[in-house]
Amino acid sequence: MARYLLMRLGQALVIVILVTLITFVILHFLPGGAARAILGKEATLEQIAAFNHEMGYDRPLWEQYALYLQRLVRGDLGYSFQLNQSVAEAIGQRLPKTMLLSLASTLLAVVVAIPLGVVQAVRRNKWPDYTINAASLLAYATPIFFMGLMMIILFSQVWPILPPEAPQGFTLAEVLGDPAGLVLPTLTLAILTVAVYSRYVRSSMVDNLNENYVRTARSKGLSEGRVIVGHTLRNGLFPVITLLGMYLPALFSGALVVERLFNYPGMGLLFWQSALKRDYPILLGVTLLISVATVLGALVADVLYAAVDPRVRLKAGRS
Amino acid sequence: MTTTTSVQEDEAPVRAMWRQGLEVFCENRLALVGVAIFALLAAFSFLGPIFYHTDQVHTDLAKVFLSPGTAGHPLGTDGVGYDQLGRLMVGGQTSIVVGLAAGLLATVVGTVWGAIAGFAGGWADAVMMRVVDAMMSIPALFLFMLMASIVTPTVPMLIVIIGAFAWLGPARLVRGEALTLRTREYVMAMRGMGGTGGRAVRRHIIPNAIGTVTVNATFQIADAILYVAYLSFLGLGVPPPAANWGGMLSDGLSDTFSGHWWLLYPPGIAIILIVLAFNFIGDGLRDVFEVRLRRR
C-alpha cells in the first residue's frame, strides 16, 4: 500500500508541475505580453518596464519560472488590478460556494444514480433498462444551460414553488440561509452527473453479475435480492469511487455553466466575469487552482479505491 | 495468373467484411435513426438555403420578434429581424462544420500521439502520457474560455481551440490499444524482419485501433457540438452576423420570459437531435467493430 501511495503521489506531483508549466506558458503568450495584459491598455512604457522588473519578467525564462513557482508555493497567485484584490483572496471568497454546489449535486447524483444503475443492470435489456438509458442519453445530449432553463420555466413559472435565481449571499453562511435558491442549481448540475454515473454503475454491475462468485451465491440458493445486495453491490460500486475522481473536471465545467445561468456567486461566475474583462491574473489563478483540485481529487479517489479494493494496489505494484 | 488470384483472394474477404459490418450496423435500428437525423439536419442546413432565401447579414429592425406564421416568416423573426428558419440553416452549418472538423482534428492528433506513446513505451510514453494527464486535469471549459479570451473566436479558431484539447481522450484510448498490440506476434514478427517502429505504428497499430477510434470519433463530434454551444452561452462564440445553434439557443434564453418561445426551442431541439444522432451512430459502429473482434 505504501508503495502504491508513493507512486501515485509522485505521479500527482509531476502532473501539478506540468499544469503550472502550462499556465506559465499561457501567461507569456498573452496579447502584448503579461505586463500589458495585466496593467491594461493605458499603461505607459515606464510602468510596463517597472512592472516587468518588479515581477522579474526581464530575467531569463527559466529564472522566471522558478520565481513563478516560488510565488505559487507561498500562495501568491498574483494581483487583480481590476478587482483591486489579490487573486488568492478573490478566489477564497468564492471557492466555498462552488464547493457547496459541487458537493451537494454530487451527493444527490450518487444517491440517485446508484439505484438507477443497479435496476438497469438487474433488469438489463428490458424496459426499465431501456427507459432509464433513453432518459440519461437525453440528459447527456441537452446543453446544461438549456436543461437549467427548462427547470426554471417548470418550477418558477409554470408551477412557481422555487426561486429562479441562486442565493446572492456573499458568505457561505448567507448562501446556506437561502436553501430554496440552491435547489434548482443543484438539481441542474446533478442531472447531467446522474446520466454519466448511472451508465457507469450499470456496466460495472453487469460485469460483476457475470462473475463466478455470483453464480456460486445463486447456486447456494440465495434469493436474488440477497445475491445483489449482499454480494454484488459492494464489488460493483467500488469503481464508482474512481469515477468520482475522474468526473471532477466535467463537474467543474458544469458548475461554471450553472453558476453563470443562475447567477450564483461562486468561482465559475468569477471566472466568467474575468474572461469577459480579460482579467488574466484571475483567469490563470482559477485555472491553476481548479486543476490542482482535480489532481488532488483524482488522487484521493484512487487511494480510497486502493484502500477498499486490494486487487487494485496489487496490480499496480506488480506492473 | 498467380498475382490475379491472390488479388481476388485479398479483395473478397475485405468486401465481405464491409458488407457484414454494414449488416450489423443496419440491425441497430437506432443507428439508422441517427444516420437519418444527421442526413436530414445536414440537408436542412446546407441545401435549405438554396430553396429558402433569407437575408442573414442585414438586420431589419422593422421586423423584430414577429410570431411564427407571419407572412414570409414561418418560424418568425428574432430580436434584430433575422428570419428564424433561415437562421437555423445558417447556424446549423456552423455547428455541423465545427463539430465535424474539431472532432476529426482531435481524433487524428490523439491517434498519432497515443500510437507513438504506446508503441515507444518507457520514458517517452511516461512523459507523453503525463502531458495528457496534466491537460486533462484542467477542466475543458475553463481552458476553452481562457483560450477564447486570448484570441478572437472565429470558426477556424473555434475548431482549433476545441480540437487542441479534445484529443486527450482518443490519445489515451489509442495508447491503451497500442500497448496490447505491440506485443502481438505479427507485430513482433514484422519487427524481427527489420521493420521500423514507424512502420509498426502506420501499418499495424493505427489500422487495428481504427475501430475504437472511429467509435470514439463520433462521440467526439457530439461533444464538440456541445462545446460550441457552451462557449456561445458563455459569450465567447462566433460574433454576429455569424450564427450557430448554441449561440441562437443562448440568445433565446433571454427571450423566453417575453414569450418568444420560437427563439428557444427550435435551436435547443436541433442541438439535442444532432448530439443524439452522433451518439446513436457511435453505438451502431461499436456493434460493428465489437462483432468483428468477437468472431476473430
Q: Which of B139, B253, B276 sits opposite A294 (nearest CB)?
A: B139
C-alpha cell at B127: 512523459
pLDDT exceeds 80 at position A176: no
Interchain contact, B226 vs A276, CB within 8 Å: no
Q: What is the pLDDT of residues A36-82, one digit of tens each?
A: 777 777 778 888 888 777 777 777 778 888 888 888 888 888 888 77
Compare CB distances from B146 to A31, A153, A283 and report the shortest one's residue.
Answer: A283
What are residue A44's phi and psi, to 5 degrees? -80, 165
Residues A218/A166, Cβ–Cβ less than 8 Å: no
Distance separating alpha carbons of residues A100 and A180, to the nearest angstrom: 14
> Between chains, do B137 and A298 touch, taking CB under 8 Å as contact?
yes
The interface pTM score, or ipTM, of the predicted complex is 0.84
Q: Are the C-beta atoms of residues B273 and B41 closer than 8 Å to each other?
A: yes
For residue B90, the tally of other CB atoms under 10 A from its CB is 23
- Which amino acid is residue B209, in one-letter code? A
| Chain segment A88-112, per-residue pLDDT in tens | 888 888 888 898 999 999 999 999 9
pLDDT of B36? 92
- Picking from A19, A30, A141, the nearest residue to B150 by CB comes out as A30
Which of B:262-281 have CB within 8 Å of A?
264, 268, 271-272, 275-276, 279
Out of A126-130, A180-184, B199-203, B274-278, pick the least confident: B199-203
Strand segments, DSSP code E, in A76-220 are: 79-80, 85-86
Using an 8 Å CB-CB cutoff, list chain B residues near A30.
Answer: 150
B150 contact A CB<8A = yes
Show the cell assigned to A117: 444503475
Q: Which residues contact A121 (CB under 8 A, 6 or more apart)?
A: A201, A202, A203, A205, A206, A209, A236
Nearest alpha carbon to residue B182 among B126, B125, B106, B129: B125
Nearby residues of A230 by Cβ (< 8 Å), 6 or more positions away: A217, A222
Output the pLDDT for position B12.
67
Express each pLDDT in A207-265 by its tens digit. 888 888 888 888 888 888 888 887 788 888 887 888 888 888 889 899 999 999 988 88
Chain centre to alpha carbon of residue B225: 7
Per-residue DSSP letter, A79:
E
* Sequence-ordered strand ranges (E) for A74-233: 79-80, 85-86
User: Which of A79, A61, A76 lies closest to A21 in space, CA to CA?
Assistant: A61
For A4-143, where are the E strands, in sequence order? 79-80, 85-86
Q: A296, A12 in Cβ contact below 8 A?
A: yes
Distance (Å, rounded) from C-alpha A88 to C-alpha A300? 24
Evaluate if residue B38 carries a pLDDT over 90: yes
Which SS3 state, helix, strand or coil, does residue A166 take?
A: coil
Among A170-184, B95-109, B119-133, B282-296, the least confident range: B282-296
Beta partners for B73?
A: B70
Question: Average pLDDT of chain A?
Answer: 83
Which of A14, A23, A142, A146 is the best substitution to test chain B (most B C-beta atoms within 10 A)?
A146
Cross-chain Cβ contact B150/A250 below 8 Å: no
Determine if the peptide bond prior to A115 is cis (ω within 30°).
Answer: no
Q: Which letter does DSSP use for residue A169 in this model?
A: -
